[in-house]
Amino acid sequence: MKRIVWLTLLMLVACKTQMVGLQQDPSFTKASLSQSPVLVLGVLPAKEPMQATWVRHQGELLTQAFREKHNDVNWVSTAQVAQHVGEQAMQNFWQTYMQSKQLDVGMLSVLHQKFPQARYLVLAKVDSNQTRQYRDKYEEDEADEMGKPTGYYRVTIAQVAERNMSVSLLVYDMQSKLRAWYGSVQDGEQHANETSDTFHKNDSFGASLAAGVTSALIGHATNGFMGLSEPEKAKIPDAEPILLRIYKGFAENMPD
């Protein structure tokens, strides 16, 4: 029975989102996290210009991810914090962190005054948000059900679009004035549109079996493979679904 329980625990740990460069102070525990309100101060973009509406919106999504995983903690959302300290003060705080990666001391004092019971603040930042679109072409031999060569090969043309993101999260202890928890999560998504067709290895013209003899124009459009049409360009994946997975990854790795 003990062995089964231990294996189950290992599986649960393995299912957690992988953190990069995770640092955790020993004082930051499940008990300390749940003892007082936690201020969620938003999610900053990878580069300027910074849009306050985006920072607040992402902060609300981050707060929601935390609440779903740790509903015993009093998470104070970005909008709630802004209502107490003022919109301009929040924007100045964000701007300072964007430029220096330092927490504004004056703002920390204001937060302590407005939320005297709060111990921790949470602030996330998108460190990288890379997109690219490219064309790929590859060939592979076809085999029959027994795995034997058939004399044919399949050509695939793909139009690929991808987005890769990295987001870091800081948990700052306003009581002890130290970085209680820090780490980042990387995630991405890829979209692809493909066309493929089968060709005979002895056909020097690369004529498609399905299309037969087709116009040379189509062949030129697909690098000489006649009858194989060019796929449409793929759309670059949206950022928000990736960010939502990252926020859930942060929540999974909080002390429990």
For the segment 97-112, what is each residue's pLDDT rounded down to a tens digit? 999 989 999 999 999 9
Using pLDDT thresholds of 50, 70 and 90, give the confidence band for residue 7.
Answer: very low
pLDDT digits (tens, 9 = 90+) for 179-229: 999 999 999 999 999 888 887 777 654 554 444 433 333 443 444 455 678
Q: What is the pLDDT of residue 225?
A: 52
Residues 6+ apart with CB under 8 A from 183: 19, 20, 21, 22, 23, 168, 169, 253
pLDDT at 135 over 80: yes
Residues 6+ apart with CB under 8 A from 196: 154, 155, 156, 157, 228
Q: Are 47 and 36 in contact (CB under 8 A)?
A: no
pTM for this entry: 0.82
Please state, rounded to an integer, the average pLDDT across all residues of the chain: 86
Using pLDDT thresholds of 50, 70 and 90, give the confidence band for residue 8.
Answer: very low
Tokens of 102: 């330092």
Q: What is the pLDDT of residue 146?
A: 79
pLDDT digits (tens, 9 = 90+) for 77-92: 999 999 999 999 999 9
Q: What is the pLDDT of residue 226?
A: 52
Between 244 and 214, the more confident residue is 244
Between 149 and 41, the more confident residue is 41
Query: Does a cis peptide bond (omega within 30 degrees of 0) precede residue 49?
Result: yes
Tokens of 204: 């020097």
pLDDT at 3 over 50: no
Q: What is the pLDDT of residue 211?
A: 44
Between 228 and 159, the more confident residue is 159
Q: What is the pLDDT of residue 206?
A: 52
Q: What is the pLDDT of residue 64?
A: 98
